Chain A
Amino acid sequence: MTATALLQVFASGLMTGLIYGLVASGLSLIFGLMEVVNFAHGEFLMLAMFATFGLVVFTGIDPGLLAPLVAAAMFVFGAAVYALVIRFAMRVETNRGMVQIFATFGLSILMQGAAQYLFSPDYRSIRTSWLGERTLHVGGVFLPWPLLFGGLVSIATFGGLYLVMTRTAFGKALEATREDQGAVALVGIDCNRMFALGWGLGAALVGLAGAVLAVFYYVFPGVGASFSLIAYVTVALGGFGSVFGALAAGIVVGLVEAFTAVVLPPELKSLGIYALYLVIVFLRPAGLFGKF
């Protein structure tokens, strides 16, 4: 295998990995804030992709430019899911873990069914994007623009997230809430409101990921399943609750997947990711950057 070919695999693995990190970021943020694994995460992504698709059809604006709008809509959706479902799951006294798993699993089935009912199970794709068929050609390496765009959005998002978490009062309140819910209540932070905002922010991050993916991936009701599994592995690999761990783990997952596809038949590429997860948690039972 030539150096250029290796570089090609590395570059596309890296870009895919950045996007995986973005897909996982919302899941990780929500888990870090309140220890809830959202089993409807893939369906949040599916909804964002359909929202992007719908907006492109109705407005004709390029999907790349619509990403902020989709993120805003998903923010509202995420906060609403918290207020209507998760809030009640948090109040439960017995079996809280199982109730959270199955309340969100029920939500995922409901959302998939609703998408099938409203949009039919057909596969759709956006063909009008300016990014669509273009590729960037640098030193023998070809990178499709949609993938590159996704990677750039991911970097920008994590940069922005870092600033929000460290520089704003909201970010500090979020961090304080995840550390100690009882104590923040004493200084006048409304936990319920922080949780709702956290779910909004988590869903908005998925919204960005969905808008980016909709540019080059098929949009259909079951699309979430293929990404949610990777997102769970990414979040666990980075260490549950570590948002920037999710970025690092996403990149590792993307690279391992790309290189596995070189060594093994492409159908088996996910085995590389699964093996990686197992090896890492057997060595470090709390993931790469997790705290117990």
Chain B
Amino acid sequence: MPHGEAATAESFRSARVRRFLVAALVFAALALSPLAIRSVYLQNVLVLTLLYAAVSQSWNILGGYCGQISLGHGLYFGIGAYATSVLFVTWGILPWGGMIVGGVLAVAVALLIGYPCFRLQGHYFAIATLVIAQSGLVLMQNWDFVGAARGIQWPFGPDSWWTLQFARAKTPYIEVSLALLVASWLATVLIGESRWGYWWRAVKDDALAAESLGVEVFRSKMAAAGVSAFFTAVGGGVYAAFLAYIDPDAVMSFRFSLLFALPAVLGGIGTPWGPLVGAAVLVPLGEFSRSYLGGSGSGLDLVIYGALVMAVALARPQGLLSLVPRRRAAP
């Protein structure tokens, strides 16, 4: 029925327009939020929330859309953080360039890892990513050129957008993290609408069936891994500039790898807004409980955070985003 098809295409287009309008509004509100949130402490929480949302969105591309559960994204984050720091501290290359170098390096590593690992299934794949990331951590802890376990301290300098160093102001980091979130959100949505996106979902649902229908399963996984690693590494570079000090445990421990997956899973895995929703709940709760209950390492903050993670995982297996009523199924 031509008439019906036209109506479907029409509603598809209008749903798409609405989706981008909503996104523009949300991101604009976040960009302006430092005007309303003046407290340095809260701005700090906002930086972390946006950064976790961005990196979790990157994880979501491989884990949520393509269904390959990586427990080793800490490695790519670490590569970005280290590339940015080493290039800046040793050779004075601006962090903007360092992030891109880190991103490209992470893509190369992801493809190198993916080549043998994507033959593995389920838990064997997850443990392989974990083991490779852990090997990277051990190497960094013992590699003197990058400061080994001592890490790298960024030099003190005047506030500047060039070097992305600001002694007190948090707003620049909010905007940079937000820009990364927007970029990874756009990549997710635009690729998700393309042929690659459909391939990824087919691979996630049933790789064998997809293969028999002509989907290039292996290349789909490699592409997802590359995109995912790139944005994760750029996030690592931003984080390094934000902290101005990194060491192996602070940027690439196993806990990081789980913490990058967590917002996507709790918010809604394989959805474009899941990571932001998850991060908006998890990061502030983690930070607030640490400030109010975690004094002198009492551990009470961890009890609350752990209980929260369990509760959300068990109570909302489809993610928090599923609480929002939808008027119409997304295309």
Q: Which residues on B sit within 8 Å (CB–CB) of A277? A: 127-128, 131
* Residues of B close to A232: CB separation below 8 A: 127, 130
User: Most chain-B Cβ atoms within 10 A of its Cβ — which of A96, A103, A121, A240?
Assistant: A103
Q: Once the chains bind, are A107 and B128 in contact (CB under 8 Å)?
A: no
Does the CB pair A106–B306 fall under 8 Å?
Answer: yes
Of B89-97, B186-194, B229-237, B295-303, the one contacting chain A is: B295-303
Nearest Cβ on chain B to A257's Cβ, whole angstroms = 12
| A69 at interface by CB-CB < 8 Å | no
Return the contact of A95 from the options B120, B130, B265 (Cβ within 8 A): B265
Interface size on B, residues (CB 8 A): 46
Contact residues, B249-267 vs A (CB, 8 A)? 254, 258, 261-262, 265-266
Q: Does B116 contact A (CB under 8 A)?
A: yes
Q: List 26 A–B pairs whose Cβ atoms lie within 8 Å, in order of A's numbering.
A: A39-B258, A85-B314, A89-B313, A97-B69, A102-B265, A102-B313, A103-B309, A106-B311, A108-B306, A109-B302, A110-B307, A111-B306, A112-B302, A113-B306, A114-B299, A117-B303, A118-B299, A229-B130, A229-B254, A240-B123, A270-B138, A271-B138, A274-B132, A275-B135, A277-B127, A281-B124
Residues in A with CB closer than 8 Å to B318 are 94-95
Chain B residues, CB < 8 A from A268: 138-139, 142
Contacts of B301 in A (CB 8 A): 113
Measured CA separation A208–B78 after assembly (Å): 37
**Is A267 in contact with chain B by the CB < 8 A criterion?**
yes
Chain A residues within an 8 Å CB radius of B111: none
CB pair A105 B309 closer than 8 Å:
yes
Q: Is A171 an interface residue (CB 8 A)?
A: no
How far apart sit A143 and B121, CA to CA, in the bound complex (Å)?
40
**Which of B131-158 touch A at CB < 8 Å?**
131-132, 134-135, 138-139, 141-142
Q: Which residue on B lies nearest to A87, using beta carbons?
A: B314
Q: Which of A118-136 contact B (CB under 8 A)?
A: 118, 121
Interface centre among A110, A225, A240, A270 (most CB of B within 10 A): A110
Which of A106, A267, A278 is most buried by chain B, counting CB atoms within 10 A of its CB?
A: A106
Known: A98-B269, A103-B310. A236 touches B135 (CB 8 A): no
Is B314 a contact partner of A88 (Cβ separation < 8 A)?
A: yes
Query: Which of B130, B303, B308 counts the most chain A CB atoms within 10 A?
Result: B303
Q: Other than the known A106-B306, A117-B303, what 18 A-B pairs have Cβ atoms closer than 8 Å? A: A95-B318, A98-B69, A102-B262, A103-B309, A103-B314, A110-B302, A110-B305, A113-B301, A113-B304, A114-B303, A116-B299, A121-B297, A232-B127, A267-B138, A270-B135, A270-B138, A277-B127, A282-B119
Residues of A participating in the B interface, judged by any CB pair closer than 8 Å = 37, 39, 85, 88-89, 92-99, 101-103, 105-118, 121, 221, 225, 229, 232-233, 236, 240, 265, 267-268, 270-271, 274-275, 277-278, 281-282, 285-287, 292
Residues from chain B with a CB closer than 8 A to the CB of A267 are 138, 141-142
- Whole-angstrom distance between the Cβ of A119 and the nearest chain B Cβ: 9
Q: Are B317's CB and A93's CB within 8 A?
A: yes
